Chain A
């Protein structure tokens, strides 16, 4: 019940925003296609935010997700080109996801083996992954004109990317709530030493979290690649901040031990609708940055205040 109450704030903000936009721009905003559009746009960030939620709950952070996305997309697109029209799409999709998983695994291995803060390690790998993405094709994108299903495909009138986002969110929710890994994630973030003394295998759990987040970023990379029918080495620059913002707006604490998938989904949608609303109202993307920055701080400040009142 309390957990639900905590979720109320982001949810109420989201609802208020939708009502506001509906009132201001009913013709443009209140259409099915606009909603689906917002959902489709938020799916790439949203899918990565699912993994980021778990990492942040564990008390860590992953700054490399944007670069990882670019690298995974480049690998996927390269394989699509190389494998030819018949099997290219399938092989490339799995290659991209696999590349993401591998990068995430590397993050996890370095973090657990060296025992250094994830912030530092992923700050480094953010640069390394980006560099590899540039080097792969000399800074040029790979074009994959026929790779359209993930980005543009529609099943029963719903974009494939949205279906993927919803399905993965559901899986992430179940994993956090109903698996040992999920519980250990909370325990590690709440008190790592105590979790260790209670028999939690810290390193193994963290490794899984970073590898899973890499996998999710790989999936997001292939959706993004498909949407633009090309893999750009510049893809996802600054994305890590948007993703972290969504998680934090959703009620997770950067000091670890708290956060939920539902909150993160709401946080993701909140940012997406803000962007959408600003665009519909003719507010420039530059001003959007300011608005979103203010919202992040306000959301966290309000959440802190609510917590303090409860304590």
Chain B
């Protein structure tokens, strides 16, 4: 280990950090160097070890090996208080605030200014908080009850807490995951301001566009090792992704040429009590069609109507030309329509049951002879469809809860592949799924289309819609307001349709 003297010491040096939980080694000799006044992005798939590394830095976990230097001084964190005393502050995904207390009380929680040694000096507390808020150019009322603040403002409170503790290192774990677009923009400004004031920021995010826009340096963790570390300016995002997944990705979105065939689904004047109004569109065999829209535009409601959950109050559905009016999901499945729901934990998987059972659940009639299931045939089918979607599991007998989010999503894809659907509706299929699994899911959707199925792809991620689909339909307030061939669509044109009211709906392609 070379100990070259430096003009300004690193804000943080973590050297040779290893950590195991039982037999599982989560961190393997991780080294991380963060300069003062920089934003250092930490990237990696779920389970790469980011959270564990941060917990070691925060003194929550003790590393088995390795050392930590803060501002050039070696430190040993036995408990979180040691890390805080050394100037390390953490902002976790789940914010850690007392909802019933005011902003000022939260900022000074545990370190309240006191009068006569015991009486809380609330006024001093508020004044000091107001000063902090002013210095940093935030817009916050120090007396506001935290429970009434937006998520974005709560994050500012967390940042104020860190500033009050004179933190020199601030680690933020997925800070924008629950923020709206404007809130996220404001947060970036705050992060840049903190950087100007000399604070070193460790920024963890799955959103690589943010990382690109914000970070000065980037380190990539994979399987508990740092596999890349370098200046952001010299690191294209594609390289970050490649390091994250551990192989070269020629393109983030797999290539796909649509060969639209006959009309699979036609929807005419569909309205439901859930708020759909006169929906009209067609899906063809062999296409992946995106469904864009803001939250509440009625995309999931459309999926529910197509899957027999909500009954139409008006309109007709036809499937491959035949009238189609499913009274429940069971009938929809019998007509070979599948719906991969948005919330895999709540409406997707029976987590406590074996993976194989989850795959075959809608297809059981096929494995029934004279009223009895053939468990051997069922098991074989589950195993082979699990392999087909490349799910990482011990076998179909493992409980679904033992799989990671991406693999759970693949189980559900395997389920609908096995039930041999002609039309598959997928609702936010890549939410909470890491980069490698995302790409595989895109590929599977393309394979489905290539084999003559129609895929309706609901997503709130425009890049994903633009990268994966052949056509994009846009909904707003329960109506279908337009559509594009994907090659003609831009994020702006989609947002324009999805968000702007008062325009006549554009004609459908």
Contact = CB atoms under 8 A, between A and B. Distances in A.
Given A190-B350, A200-B361, A257-B352, 18 more contacts: A178-B375, A179-B368, A179-B371, A179-B372, A179-B373, A180-B368, A183-B373, A186-B350, A187-B350, A187-B357, A194-B348, A194-B349, A197-B329, A197-B341, A198-B362, A198-B415, A199-B328, A257-B350
A119 interface: no
A225 interface: no
Contact of A190 (B334, B351, B364, B372): B351
A87 interface: no
A17 interface: no
Contact of A195 (B350, B372, B373): B350
Contact of B349 (A174, A178, A180, A191): A191
Contacts of A186: 350, 353, 357
B329 A178 contact: no
A216 B142 CA distance: 67
Contacts of B372: 174, 178-179
Interface of chain A: mostly helix, strand, loop or mixed: helix
B362 A199 contact: yes
Contacts of B364: 180, 183
A199 B329 contact: yes
Interface residues of A, number: 22
A258 B372 CA distance: 21
B339 interface: yes
A199 B371 CA distance: 18
A194 B347 CA distance: 4
Contacts of B373: 177-180, 183
Contacts of A179: 368, 371-373
Given A178-B372, A183-B357, A197 B352 contact: no
A164 B334 CA distance: 38
Interface string B401-422: 0000000000000010000000
30 contacts: A2-B397, A178-B372, A178-B373, A179-B368, A180-B365, A180-B368, A183-B373, A186-B350, A186-B353, A187-B353, A187-B357, A190-B353, A191-B349, A191-B350, A191-B352, A194-B348, A194-B349, A196-B329, A196-B347, A197-B341, A197-B347, A197-B348, A199-B328, A199-B329, A199-B330, A199-B332, A199-B361, A201-B328, A257-B350, A258-B352
Contacts of B365: 180
Interface in B332-364: 332-334, 339, 341, 346-353, 357, 361-362, 364
Interface of B: 307, 309, 328-330, 332-334, 339, 341, 346-353, 357, 361-362, 364-365, 368, 371-373, 375, 397, 415
Interface string A179-211: 110010011001101111111110000000000
In the A-B complex, the 5 residue pairs with the closest CB atoms: A190-B350, A199-B333, A198-B361, A199-B330, A199-B362
B361 A195 contact: yes
Contacts of A177: 373, 375
Contact of B361 (A187, A193, A201, A258): A187
Nearest to A203: B328
B391 to A, nearest CB: 17
A197 B344 CA distance: 11
Contacts of B347: 193-194, 196-197
A194 B411 CA distance: 13
A174 B372 CA distance: 9
Given A180-B364, A198-B415, A191 B339 contact: no
Nearest to B307: A197
A201 B330 contact: yes
A219 B347 CA distance: 38
Contacts of B328: 199, 201
A176 to B, nearest CB: 11
Nearest to B350: A190
Interface in A204-250: none
Nearest to B343: A193
Contacts of B352: 190-191, 257-258
Nearest to B400: A190
A200 B371 CA distance: 16
Which interface residue of B329, B333, B368 has the most chain A CB atoms within 10 A? B329
